Structure 1
Amino acid sequence: MKKNLKVLFLAVFVSVASCSFTTKEFDDPDKDKVLIDLITYVLQKGHYNPADMNDEFSAEVYKDFINGLDPLKRYFLASDIEEFSKYKTQIDDQIKSKDLTFFNLVYDRFMKRMEEVKKIYPEVLNTPFDYTKDESINVDYDNIDYATTKTEIKERWRKQLKFSTISSYYDNVEENKTKLEEDKEYTSKTEEELEIEARETSKKSLDEYFDFTNDLERKDYFAIYLTTIVEEFDPHTNYFAPPDKDRFDLRMSGRLEGIGARLQKKNDYIKVIEIISGGPVWRGDYLEVGDLITKVKQEDEDKAVSVVGMRVDDAVKLIKGPKGTKVTLTVKRVDGTIEDVTITRDVVELEETYAKSSIIENDENTYGLINLPQFYFNMEDYKERNAASDVKKEIERLKEEGMEGLVLDLRGNGGGSLRTAVDIAGLFIKEGPVVQVASNGKKEVLEDEDESITWDGPLVILVNELSASASEILAAAMQDYERAIILGSKQTYGKGTVQNVLDLNQWIRKSDLGDMGALKITTQKFYRVNGGSTQLEGVKSDVVMPDQYSYFNVGERDYENPLPYDKIDAASYKTWDGYLGYEETINKSKARMEKSKQLQLIDENAKWIKERRDEVEVPLNFEKYVADIDRRKEETKKFDSIDTYDNKLSYRSLPYEVELMKQDTTLREKRKRWHINLAKDIYVEEAVNVLRDLKINNIKAGKMADIKN
């Protein structure tokens, strides 16, 4: 596959280079025009199934860009939309001719409307809301018309602000009641005081929102426009502006080089909102949550740079840096004192990204559970750390504790590295194909070529509607081989495409344009070893267990323009013969699930949540608002037992983690919460039941032992 990709991208590179993407050959050297020309050219040459850039394409870009800027229809007027509409079928032509007229018009008008709104919301929130008035708000924004006048816009904002404020007012009233009941010396606040506080909360929230938007520049909105264009090719093709590319790399690797603190802009200051466990700040106790960073000085510079008023992305660029380098921060502490702290940057690993495991004990049996949040890898050095090597380590550790069966939890895992999925599959089978990949009319079979098997015992994989991409590759392969039993949602997400991230700077001959960002582009489609695609169809669980997402539109099939489902010839593979009574085990699990009162309740709750989310009229009269909440509280009482369920299983961390917890109280608290949640999890309970029922073919197991030895 790598060879095919290199040939493809080399061809694209040669083609683009022959078109001479230099500033000299453009009448207008504007970076935006270079970007839009480069991106669309690469898409047409490199995308798996490039879209026709015609009037229909143009109409979709038109709709999605306007909706993306103003989804609640609180800025643009109907007259604006009428003016924009003359370009509805011209955007494709403008893209081809590097004409930015449509973007410039919409952007300039949006900036104007935002400035008008900045004057509206303080005025509205300066006046008390009348909660005795019998009125409501329609939150079905897709099906409401644009306002025709500025007076109508103001009224729309009044209702929207009342909608957000009534929630705070309700919370204030309830908190006031609770304090009166719990503290006899508490002085009750008046309704007027509680109402004022609620409006102040809404105003503060909007002040912070517009403070954030004030930091956005034209290039940020142009990045939104580019993303709108490329997503018309398929939902997973995206444009990454430079900061977004950094964030994507971070998600894929689960690590960064810096100080180990999460930052947020608060008014004009850069505020510390979280200390990352194990990072330099955590180890040295340099900062606390709530500290404000005012200046940043590099070790090779004499003067500090003020970050007051700076965009948070720009401030982060100054603060983070390579391992071993030092940065001095001027910090305003929570108590008001000001101090300089010098921190040596280091690799910061985001623990929540990585595989984690737990020992499960039930009567006299011991099982293992590995939770894999994503298929991560180091983009610079695959061997340094990746999901496959970590899962293998956890399996070996669990085996040392006497594990008799393994649960691999892929619920909520949106995917990641294709290679790690293949490598993890190889931990459970001797050898053979894992996934088929198609590109440019060619097919390649990715195989596990390592005959060793890390785990030859019972295996269950948990999935849900959010298990996507690489999760589906692994689950599908294990299902086709009959190596694992898949438990979970009716089907997984349904993302059967492969993306590669291309650095757009490699195609620019001159560097004075600045960083051009990157393009995540769909280049391939993958297929199960049985020939079926997971695109749209996903992986259908062997045993279906309803969950909270059962009635929500969360899968690939719910996008506007997904690539279609299809099939190819099956690869040559043999099903695993290490189990006895494989089908019998599945049928026994299905029978248990049909009788489960807990699952029936979960299914009923999922339907109830869907019904509530479909409601579009919300009362803005306080009595009716309270009555609506009270009704919902009463209705949800019958679902309380979902959160108090006890699966009667015991959970404990592996010995190596227990040692780490002696020093890392944050890790200890995270694992404690995880185990509490696992104890309420009926899906884990049923996975353990299936592991118990799965009988290993001892003759086959003996052969495997010979292979490994």
Structure 2
Amino acid sequence: MHFKARTARLNLFFALLLSLSSTLAFAKDSETSHADTEKLLEQQLETLKPTLNQAIASVNVVQLLQRNSYEKITIDNNSSEKIFQSYLDTLDRNRSFFLASDIKEFEPYRDELDSALKSGNLKPAFDIFNRYMQRSEERIRFALKYLETGLDKIDFNKQESLTIDREKSPWLADRKAQEDLWRRQLKDNILNMKLNEKPLKEIQELLHKRYTNQLRRLHQTRSEDAFQLYLNAFTQLYDPHTQYFSPQRAETFDINMSLSLEGIGAVLQSEDEYTKVVSIVPAGPADKAGQLKPGDRIIAVSQGENGTFEDVVGMRLDEVVKLIRGPKGTRVKLETIPANSKDGKTRIYPITRDKVKLEEQSAQKEIITIKQGDRDYRIGVIDIPAFYIDFKAAQAGDPDYKSTTRDVRKLLKELNKENIDGLIIDLRSNGGGSLQEANQLSGLFINDGPTVVVRDSRGRTEPQQDPDPEEVYHGPMAVMINRLSASASEIFAGAMQDYQRAVIIGSQSFGKGTVQTIQPLNHGQLKLTVAKFYRVSGQSTQNRGVIPDISFPSLFNKEDIGESALPNALPWDEINPAKFKAFEPLTPFMPALRERHNKRISDNPDFLYLKDLKTFQQRYDSKNSISLNEKERRHETNSMRKERLRLENQLRKAKGKPVYKSLEELEEAQNTNDSQYGKRDEDKSEDDALLIESGNILADMIELSSRYIADSAKQ
């Protein structure tokens, strides 16, 4: 069943880039017997206490943020209340653990955390965390006891429901209300598995193993875990990219940043009990497999072709990482709940681990033909998956070192020789990269001038100038973006829009417009935001991103994906514009371009499909309650699956393709050819409806501008 996506809990366990080289770690202790369970149940939880090094680190973090952070926050009673609430949300966002009496007991801390942080007093944080540990253990013990009664005793015909998102709900009144919620949550888990056709015996064994492993992990929790969670509840008040890393996490983070080792190429984070995919590394193993998507939740992992699936619900992120990463050439299978799934069906995605090769992230070109009236337009397309540069080769003086700008310059010269009529720069799902490359790439399309302005924490601004006066490509141009186009992509797209150099097409971009740096501490390290990006027009790319001139429907939910979906994201704002000389304005053409576009897509099967699919998703995303009655749940699931199949077959009929007999057949087909409406697969441009329509828009612009020039000449 679909779970309404919640605000990303980035602080729980920081996002890890799975490009690590490591001996594969198998969770051999996952096969926990009932005797082992009894031993675990007999053990007492350790009461965690802070260390002197942690106390010193907390003081250092406060001082560093007050001096160097871009966002200035006064640490007082007002911020103390925010830290208090942030910490409770970090531990129990869905309000499933703490009782109202617990919160009442913690109430004196509401106004004390500011002075406690400044002085290094961590007692309030550990008091709250130890209570959270106690409630977590009670929940696990309740679940194991409930399972022992037998799943055949559960009444799946009873009329009851479960509230999915309890973030705004009151704290649980008493133990009775708490256990009733836990029972409903457990029943929902069981029902989900039943709907995935698992027998009750298998469900019972799986859940027993899941909760036993959670209990084992709970007993392995150390003071460092509590300290990191608490400190990040404080740091996230500044912005979602300001984070504290414990010594162990800091070491892993440093390895991740090398981007040179092996894995599946995906960024993960913990959200509630799940491991969620944040993004896919361009040209990495997961990207090549074409199945795993941002927003997907991983619930189980297996090794090789025939390995047994290891349940990872409730597992620490670092443990999940150990299961997923591994040597090049080995196989891993992920069982996931897809982000866009409304029917509760899980999917299994096999991925072969490999290195993320720089050359495979390189910009690529092709030419598509757009027919309008009696003319064929040759449109060049350059697909840029990331803003990359081989720093090591460049510093070594290698004359052939790879970079986005160098590669695109070469492709542009080739396209110029092939006499293209227009150019599309495709930045869909490009998550950014090198600021230097964004600046230099912008310079290929303008003569001179600034491309972006960086404003530091002291309010000083520094424009980044085009380093090369050569305008490599002079012709008509469009830039494609989507919700996953971020950071450097937004700098380039914003510059092209401000200079009136290109028409921007697609959907609102991510909105990542800040700069971070790493500060070492006596104990771990701090990543903090120190600057902000601004377009030459003075508008920040932060939070709002780049708004396209012509919008396409997007299946990405802005409430779930994007900077604005993150807690305490810095706001959009403006500064004085930089001095720059724009090209002849494209603005006069926009009404006609939009009119032609809207007329064209009014009966375009692909765009009608996207519109209907978006409506379908929104209808189920808005639900915050699910039935725990099996008959009702099956009926709702079947209705969703039938509607999803109907939408797909409606599109296939309109395009003269054979229809699918079942949703399973559709899913199997998509697993082997998943190119629709996102980032196109190699040599599949004819299937990319958004690219073709972007070509039509650019052809319209060429025709309209030619007519405008001709009319001007007559006058």
What TM-score, normalized by structure 2, do the two folds share? 0.68
Instruction: Tell me the CA shift for residue 111 of structure 1.
Output: 2.0
Deviation at 1:43, TM superposition (A): 0.8
Query: Cα distance 1:583–1:260, how it changes in 2: closer, same or farther (>3 A)?
Result: closer
Pairing 1:245-644 to 2, within 5 Å after superposition: 245=250, 255-257=259-261, 312=319, 348-350=355-357, 354-357=361-364, 359-362=366-369, 366-377=378-389, 385-392=402-409, 395=412, 404-439=421-456, 440-489=458-507, 491-496=508-513, 498-505=514-521, 508=522, 516-517=524-525, 519-549=526-556, 552=559, 554-559=561-566, 561-577=568-584, 583=590, 586-587=593-594, 589-592=596-599, 595-597=602-604, 598-640=606-648, 644=652
Asked which structure has the greater CA Rg, the reply is: 1
Distance 2:599 2:411 in 1: 30
What amino acid sits opposite 2:461 in the alignment? K
- Paired residues, what number? 569
Shift of the alpha carbon at 1:596?
4.8
| C-alpha distance after superposition, 1:227-283 (max 9, x if no partner) | 221110123322234555566566666x2246999999xxxxxxxxx99769xxxxx
State the distance in 2 between where 1:622 and 1:259 align. 40
Equivalent positions of 1:156-195 (< 5 A) are 156-172=181-197, 194-195=199-200
* Secondary structure at the counterpart of residue 260 of structure 2: strand
My pick for the range that moved more, 629-638 or 396-405, is 396-405
Query: Aligned-pair distance for 1:470?
Result: 2.4
Q: Which residue of the partner structure matches residue 182 of structure 1?
A: none
Unaligned runs of 5+ in 1: 1-27, 174-193, 265-273, 279-286, 293-308, 321-326, 335-345, 649-667, 699-709
Alpha-carbon contact 2:450-2:466 (below 8 Å) kept: yes
Change (3 A) 1:550 1:122: closer
Inter-CA distance 67–385: structure 2 relative to 1 (3 Å threshold):
farther
Q: Give the alignment's Cα RMSD to 1 decimal.
A: 4.5
What CA deviation, in whole Å up to 9, does each residue of 1:181-222 have, x standing for no partner? xxxxxxxxxxxxx23333334444445555665655331332
- 1:512-560: CA deviations, max 9, x gaps? x5xx13x222212222112222334432211122212366464444555
The range that moved more, 346-355 or 367-376, is 346-355
Task: Give the drift of 1:637.
Answer: 4.7
Q: Which residue of 1 aligns with 2:133?
A: 111
- Contact 1:227 1:239 survives alignment (8 Å): yes
- For residues 588 and 611 of structure 1, the distance between their equivalents in structure 2, rounded to whole angstroms, comes to 29
Distance in 2 (CA, whole Å) between partners of 1:395 and 1:360 is 12
Deviation of 1:615 after TM superposition, in Å, equals: 1.0
- In structure 2, the CA distance between the partners of 1:381 and 1:674, relative to structure 1 (3 Å rule), is same
Q: Is structure 2 residue 152 aligned with structure 1 residue 132?
A: no
2:63 maps to amino acid: Y
Distance 1:468 1:243, change over 3 A: farther
In the alignment, what sits opposite 1:11?
none
Partner residue in 1 for 2:85: 63
In structure 2, give the amino acid aligned to 1:354.
Q
Retained in 2: the 8 A contact 1:645–1:681? no
Matches of residues 142-161 of structure 1 in structure 2 within 5 Å? 142-161=167-186
Alignment partner of 1:256: what SS? coil
Matching residue of 2:300: none
| C-alpha distance 574-592 of structure 1, shift in aligned 2 (>3 A) | farther
The match for 1:706 is: none
Do the aligned partners of residues 626 and 377 (structure 1) sit closer, same or farther apart at CA in structure 2, a change above 3 Å counting? Answer: same
Contact 1:357 1:370 in 2 (8 A): yes
Aligned to 2:117, which of 95, 103, 109?
Answer: 95
Deviation at 1:431, TM superposition (A): 2.0
Task: Indicate which of 235, 238, 249 corresponds to 2:240.
Answer: 235
Q: Once the 2 structures are TM-superposed, how far is the Cα of residue 59 of structure 1 from its aligned partner?
A: 1.4
* Partner deviation per Cα, 1:84-125 (whole Å, 9 max, x = no partner): 222112111111111101211122112222222232222223
Q: SS at the partner of 2:692?
A: helix
Q: Secondary structure at the match of 1:115?
A: helix
Matched, 1:692 2:699: yes
CA distance in 1, matches of 2:224, 2:360: 30
* In 2, Cα distance between equivalents of 1:259 and 1:166: 33
- Contact preservation (8 Å) 1:256, 1:347: no
Separation in structure 1 between the aligned mates of residue 599 and residue 205 of structure 2, nearest angstrom: 53
User: Which residue in 1 is equivalent to 2:69?
Assistant: 47
- What is the CA distance between 1:577 and its match in structure 2? 4.7
For structure 2, which runs of at least 5 residues remain unmatched after alignment? 1-49, 269-280, 287-302, 309-315, 334-352, 396-400, 657-671, 707-715
Task: Confirm or deny that 1:217 pairs with 2:222.
Answer: yes
Task: Give the equivalent residue in structure 2 for 1:184.
Answer: none
Deviations along 1:419-441, one digit per CA (max 9) or x if unpaired, are: 22112212222221101122213
- Shift, 1:634, TM fit: 4.2
The DSSP-based 3-state class of the residue aligned with 1:172 is: coil
Match of 1:186 in 2: none
Structure 2 vs 1, CA of residues 475 and 311 (structure 1 numbering), >3 Å: closer, same or farther? closer
2:203 aligned partner? 198
Report the AA paired with residue 147 of structure 1. L
